[in-house]
Amino acid sequence: MMAVNDRWLYRGEGNINLVLADTEEKNVYRFVKTKIKPEKCHEDNDIRADQIRFKLQKTVDYVKKVMKPLLSSVYVIPPLLKEIPPGFAETLNGAVKDARPAHRKGKDIDFAARSALVLPDFCYVFKPDSLSVPQSLPSAQHQSTISIEIKPKTGFLSTSEHIKHPIKLKVCKFCMSSRVKGRRMWLKPSSYCPLDLFSGKRSRVRHAIHALLNTPQNNLKICKNGEEVYSEYLKEDLTKVLESFFGKQIRTDENANKKNSVDVFIDLVVDALHCPMTSWSPVQNGPNKGRDQNQHCLNSSYSETSENEKFNFPSGCILEKILSVQYLDDLDIEGIYPLYEQLQNHFLKFPEDRQKFCMDGPYRGDAWCVVSNNNNIESANKDDILYAMIKVKQFLVAQTVKDCSIILALQKLDERPENLSEPFLMDSYGHYYKHSLAIIDLDPKPFDKIPLYLKHDIAMISTCEKLNFPVS
């Protein structure tokens, strides 16, 4: 990360969006990207500006009406749609040019944009219940904030009866995909396996965090006071960064089992990811599966250290919330694709039903709430078009959460918190920390993308078979 100017920081980007942090307001702006070159933009600017706004509004509705009820208001803050002045996107695009990774420069911020999505800067501690506008609570002047962003990916092995390829029952999708992508994108494959992170066993979760630190790729980023200090592209001395954050006591306390700053940090991350939430509404379609997460991926480098270690997945913790929604995909793409074809054939005969079912949005009312109610599935005949519609929607919702990110922010406290009802963590040295957790990157996945999911699945399996991936 680097400063664009005194106010803006380049925070990162994906294939579709570019993110900048406003250091004054402690907000984050997400801008739409495009392949269209600036000189070709001007004629259609007004049309594209309306299209961008329409698409962003659908994202806002989806996060608010679908993701927030499923994942809870504790973790999900819907973005706001904010107008931006003409020329603003173009100005920022030129300013961030030097900060961007080379492989992302095939697309630029769309100069036609007259709006952007705005969220709190979750790199700072915030209070979810107090946010009526997207503004993070500023940290105390004398205390720094450290944050870690994790893209956890799919946390389970599918057991769908529709799966034809044995490797998918033994090796998780991330590990297969990582091995394939690693050959062309990274110097070495990721050593991280999502099944370890979602295992509920402390030693496995610690192993997963260590693996992310060793091979961050696109799955981990650490910021201090909102500025990136550790990622795949910027690797400062993490030990020194954390020692600066924790303070001198971390190296001098004689009663701390000689844990170094990285170990203390990992312990805090593991604690935060397993913090129980007292009030939550479970997904009705099988969240209990996530409470017995004893699956193992053959590609994981984790070796069992304690067979007696108890499973610990507190109800409503952020990992369980994510996993329970991921489990809405219980058919796998191999089981979903025939239902997709059934829907497409139905829409050819009854095109008005595609709009009636809100397959492409809007994400309001009851049209998408059906995904969380198991009664809708149980009452539907498997040959019924309504069954196909619900299962496809569940699959798409699960794909969103399989691609989400978690941001944990930590701020050290000078003393034990007075209000014990507010969440806080304590490290092995007896120091207290206030913290916040957020789930981001919750965009809707297009109905028409399902054939692409199948194409990628087939290509991934084919490549892994050529690489002689283990299946037993």
Say whether pLDDT at 81 is over 80: yes
φ, ψ for residue 240 (rounded to 5)?
Answer: -70, -40
Mean pLDDT is lowest, of 17-31, 236-250, 412-426, for 412-426
Give the residue-averaged pLDDT of 98-113: 84
Distance CA 215, CA 185 (A): 13
- What does the mean pLDDT of the chain come to? 84
Q: Which residues contact 185 (CB under 8 A, 6 or more apart)?
A: 103, 217
Q: What is the pLDDT of residue 428?
A: 85
Say whether pLDDT at 1 is over 80: no
Distance CA 197, CA 219 (A): 12
> Please, which pLDDT band fits residue 139 given cuts at 50, 70 and 90?
very low
Who has greater pLDDT, 170 or 424? 170
Reported in sequence order, the residue ranges of 68-206 that DSSP labels E, i.e. its strands, are 80-83, 108-109, 115-120, 145-150
Distance CA 200, CA 273 (A): 10
Domains of the chain: 8-138 (3.30.200.110), 146-159+169-326+404-440 (no CATH)
Q: What is the pLDDT of residue 258?
A: 61
Distance CA 146, CA 205 (A): 20
List pLDDT tens digits, range 206-239. Answer: 999 999 999 999 899 999 999 999 998 888 889 9
Q: What is the pLDDT of residue 279?
A: 42
Q: What is the pLDDT of residue 193?
A: 96
> Please, which pLDDT band fits residue 429 given cuts at 50, 70 and 90?
confident
Q: What is the pLDDT of residue 393?
A: 96
As given in the structure block, the two tokens for residue 160 are 């769908």
> Please, which pLDDT band fits residue 370 given cuts at 50, 70 and 90?
confident
Q: What is the pLDDT of residue 319?
A: 95
List pLDDT tens digits, range 251-292. Answer: 555 554 567 899 999 999 999 999 887 543 333 333 344 445
Q: What percent of the chain has pLDDT over 70?
A: 82
Indicate the residue type of 349: K
Q: What is the pLDDT of residue 409?
A: 96
Give the residue-averaged pLDDT of 322-332: 95
> Please, which pLDDT band fits residue 174 given cuts at 50, 70 and 90?
very high
Say whether pLDDT at 419 is over 90: no
Give the residue-averaged pLDDT of 298-316: 76
Q: What is the pLDDT of residue 54?
A: 94
Indicate the residue type of 178: S
Who has greater pLDDT, 40 or 462? 462
The C-alpha angle with vertex 163 and arms to 160 and 164, in degrees rounded to 5, equals 155
Distance CA 424, CA 339 (A): 46
The alpha carbons of the chain give a radius of gyration, in whole angstroms, of: 22
What is the number of alpha carbons within 13 Å of residue 4 lying toward its C-beta? Answer: 19
As given in the structure block, the two tokens for residue 258 are 């000689």
Q: What is the pLDDT of residue 19?
A: 93
**What is the DSSP code (8-state) at residue 443?**
P
DSSP letters, 325-338, are HHTT--SHHHHHHH
